[in-house]
Amino acid sequence: MVKRTSFEGDGCPVARALEAIGDWWSLLIIREALLGVRRFGEFQSKLGMAKNILSVRLRSMVDHGILAMAPASDGSAYQEYVLTPKGRGLFPILVALRQWSEEFDDHPEQIATILVDRAKGRPVKKLEMHAEDGRLLAQGDTMLKPRPAPRRRSA
């Protein structure tokens, strides 16, 4: 098999996430969906992508439980693609990608939009990672541990 290697059985949660949304288009589709896009044609025209690819990606994300097909919202008999909670949970990933570009892009003047606090219109701060007790953590303050064995009901 020369198939694209799948990470489905991999124990790394990063790989498992990439298995679902690690392709070239999925996160951009999610970006549009978070902005309120729901219709096939609207995704296609805003992203400028081929319709067959869009079709495959939408179906894949529906299979992964990221999007769901809803019968309609206006009167029309067409269907819509709406984000599930799992899909909306991708928002921090998009924010992290955005902030990385804002901080490190070689041509920041080409970045067209900024994410702001709706109430004040001011840019949001960088994502922060905290410990249970509230301490701010950097990468060096963390480590990976094997997942504790699933607790089995003791007879």
Size of the site for DNA (CB under 7 A): 26
CB crowding 46-77: b at 16 or more within 10 Å, else e: ebebeeeebeebbeebeeeebbeeeeeeeeee
Residues 92-131 contacting DNA, CB under 7 A: none
Residues 2-41 contacting a second copy, CB under 8 A: 4-5, 9, 11-18, 22-24, 27-28, 31, 34-35
For residues 48 and 14, is the Cβ–Cβ distance under 8 A? no
And the tokens for 132? 């249970």
Among a second copy, DNA, none, partner that 137 touches (CB below 5 to 8 angstroms by kind): a second copy
Which residue among 1, 52, 71, 118 contacts a second copy (CB under 8 A)?
118
Per CB under 7 A, 36 contacts DNA: no
For residues 55 and 46, is the Cβ–Cβ distance under 8 A? no
Among a second copy, DNA, none, partner that 68 touches (CB below 5 to 8 angstroms by kind): none
Q: How far apart are CA 137 and CA 52, in angstroms?
A: 43
CA quadruple 131, 137, 140, 144: dihedral sign: positive
Per CB under 8 A, 114 contacts a second copy: yes
Among DNA, a second copy, none, partner that 124 touches (CB below 5 to 8 angstroms by kind): a second copy
Residues 42-61 contacting DNA, CB under 7 A: 42, 49-53, 55-56, 58-59
Q: How far apart are CA 19 and CA 11, in angstroms?
A: 12
Per CB under 7 A, residues contacting DNA are 1-5, 23-25, 39-42, 49-53, 55-56, 58-59, 75-79
